[in-house]
Structure 1
Amino acid sequence: MTKEPSGAAADEEAKPLPLEGVRVLELGSLIAGPYAASILAQFGANVVKIEPPGTGDPLRRWRKMHNDTSLWWYSQSRNKKSLTLNLKDPDAQAIVHKLVEESDIVIENFRPGTLEKWNLGWEQLSAINPSLIMIRVSGYGQDGPYASRPGFAAIAESIGGLRHLAGYPDRPPVRAGVSIGDTLASLYGVIGAMMAMHHLKVNGGKGQYVDVALYEAVFGVMESMIPEYGMFGFVRERTGASMPGIAPSSTYRSRDERYIVIAANSDSIFKRLMNAIGRQDLADDPELTHNDGRAKRSDELDEAIEAWTSSHNLADALTVLENAAVPASGINTAADIFEDPHFRAREMITEQPLPGGGEISLPGIVPKLSATPGTTRWLGPGLGEHNIEILEGLGYSAADIQALKDKDVI
């Protein structure tokens, strides 16, 4: 198993990190804002995460726990420093102002208007640091008729069109399985911040804020849904495992009651697939030479393919298709991924020691940079673990820090 920080991983840590020197202040909780900060932290940014005193980010207690701390927390909050602040308190706001003076990026995912009530909105913070870049993640964006509504990924996936397409046509819509609306918004936030940083470096001037709406992050990846409706009035619907108009591409059952996804929707791959499953008649059929002809006979093709897959165990079917250079895969569970040699070879699963003993398996870092790859330097921190370090760095004395603690500011 791949372990850090020894061996190859130690060599990785010796390489420069692309965001070294970039200072990030994270104001927010759960996924959409904090995941954006997590990506920046994995590539070397110095991320200070602000958490409520006593309770911390609710993610600390989401899903499976280890010694009263969520495994998800350890993963998403890796490489961050934890500072507890009651943001409603003026003394805490003053600390944030000091941090902003030396920050490059601030990330927040409160409902629009919340930070403004606490003297921490864009106008206030950009006046303190004119070069500041602020990622603002919310359900519906910073303006518009829905701006004040609360929003979570599930709602964004619904209003943005994704949920309508997820599942089978004869059943209610389903979720994607993960909070994809949150993570998409985080990715857009990081992209926006990198573009804003580049603009600032090249053109100078002032910083800017990046307005990311969860529903827009989902809507932005909905492919041709809107052009098709705008021109033809066509409403895309749920289609289960198939891709209407693109054939063959679907999910098929194997003899050992597993599922195999086969995507043979290019002309040359289709021929290779048909020859591999012993259907040269279909490979040579002139009506099936191109996708438009195959789409008209997609049911026939799916029946032929499943007749073959249902007579083979999954592993055997995959071997045949790999030898024929046909894109195919089983549908992996976490157990399948954990044992997959390709994931291990590319360090997409790594092990880190846990506080108090034992190990945690973490997802590897994406994307992979050849010269300055990201790394896991430490796991998600304890609540307020870096209070003294950060506050002393801002000039607070031990007596000052104790006074803040006594007032429940930190």
Structure 2
Amino acid sequence: MEGVPTRQQGLELAAQGVPTRLADNDPGVDPWNRNASFNSHARNKRSMTCDIMTPEGHEALLRLIEHCDVLVENNVPETMDKAKISWDELHEINPRLIMLRMPAFALDGPYRNYRAFGLHVEAMVGHTHLRGYPGQSPELLSESLASDGIAGVQGALTVMMALRHRERTGEGQLIEMPLTEGFLPVLGEFMMDYTINGRDTPTQGNRHRWHAPHNVYPCQGEDNWIAIDVGTDDEFAALCNVLEIQDLIEEPRFVSAQARREHVEALDDVLCTVIREHDKEQLFHALQAVGVCAGPGAHRSRSAGRSATQCTGIF
């Protein structure tokens, strides 16, 4: 990638040291007074302003394309159509150009011009359902926007592969990578489980398909929580020893990982009652000391005061 000047909208290539140019709004006299997300994602890019809907802006864009290796865009396809920007025209201007198009759904088909962010895409492909809590509706979920992050990594990878292809053949190419198609492989195990075994995975909440217990439990005090993840029988025994509930180790319902998974609701009920009597910080350290994955739920207002964040200089 050394020495390849690209114009692109993702962070991944720029973060790897590739020179980039980003077309965006004029920052004005206060260039620091920007959207926080833009400040983060565009921190290592040069910027320019270009209204591609005007003849002057359109001409400026085409002049820039003459010198570009990569163009990445994630608009609704009809936006590019209205701007009269087509792959055929860009390819004619610069045959070595690589154009990555990342609409929400596709460049054609019935959803072609539907607008969406990562949250909508995840709902469309079933991720929101899987992340839901049993017996509760989806609006209680927080945003994950996992599809946005995955699309950035996938986009960077496809561009690097296209650059390697061009290095060998001298040919540019058009890459279509909708967010929906990029996110579907993440859910591959659930789709295959349904296709092969006929199992329709229910909402999972904080639970895990194999680990149990795997949840967030209330501790002493108001709104204090701890997350615990047990993946093996040894870890479960260690958890029981710390909580002084050793009788659960030989309890038939909890004697194996499969048994604990089958009786996870009963197990969670017992743990909620016991853990509620513990201080989350003390329990966190005690569990970590015996090899059980655990972490206290930090209040946002207190995060800056944690020793772990202070010693690393995050705050």
Show CA shifts across 1:320-375 (max 9, x none).
Answer: 1111110111234544554455556667x4xxxxxxxxxxx8xxxxxxxxxxxxxx
Structure with the larger helix share: 2
Cα shift at 1:317: 0.8
2:239 maps to a residue whose letter is: L
Q: Distance in 1 between matches of 2:283 and 2:105?
A: 46
Q: Distance in 1 between matches of 2:299 and 2:17?
A: 31
8 Å CA contact 2:165, 2:171 repeated in 1: no
Q: Does 1:261 align with 2:227?
A: yes
- Cα 1:98–1:162 change in 2 (3 A) is same
Cα shift at 1:105: 1.5
Q: Which has the higher contact order (CA 8 A, sep 6+)?
A: 1
Q: SS at the partner of 1:210?
A: strand
Cα shift at 1:67: 7.4
Q: SS at the partner of 2:196?
A: helix
8 Å CA contact 2:21, 2:48 repeated in 1: yes
- Cα 1:113–1:75 change in 2 (3 A) is same
- Cα 1:244–1:178 change in 2 (3 A) is closer
- Identity of counterpart residues, as a percentage? 26
Q: Does 1:23 align with 2:5?
A: yes
- Cα 1:333–1:93 change in 2 (3 A) is farther
Q: 1:3-402 residue pairs with structure 2 within 5 A?
A: 21-26=3-8, 34=9, 36=10, 38-52=11-25, 68-174=33-139, 175-201=141-167, 203-243=168-208, 246-256=211-221, 257-285=223-251, 288-335=254-301, 337-340=303-306, 342=308, 349=314
Q: Distance in 2 between matches of 1:219 and 1:332?
A: 32
- Cα 1:68–1:78 change in 2 (3 A) is closer
Cα shift at 1:313: 1.1
Q: Distance in 1 between matches of 2:125 and 2:32?
A: 38
TM-score, normalised by the number of residues in structure 2: 0.85
- Cα 1:113–1:70 change in 2 (3 A) is closer
Show CA shifts across 1:206-232 (max 9, x none).
Answer: 122332212233333224221222234
Structure 1 residues 92-101 or 312-321, which shifts more?
Answer: 92-101
Cα shift at 1:53: 6.0
Q: SS at the partner of 1:157?
A: helix
2:190 maps to a residue whose letter is: M
8 Å CA contact 2:96, 2:172 repeated in 1: yes
TM-score, normalised by the number of residues in structure 1: 0.67
Q: SS at the partner of 1:220?
A: helix
- Cα 1:54–1:81 change in 2 (3 A) is closer
- Cα 1:341–1:205 change in 2 (3 A) is farther
Structure 1 residues 228-237 or 138-147, which shifts more?
Answer: 228-237
- Structure 1, unmatched stretches of 5+, are 1-18, 27-33, 61-65, 350-360, 362-410
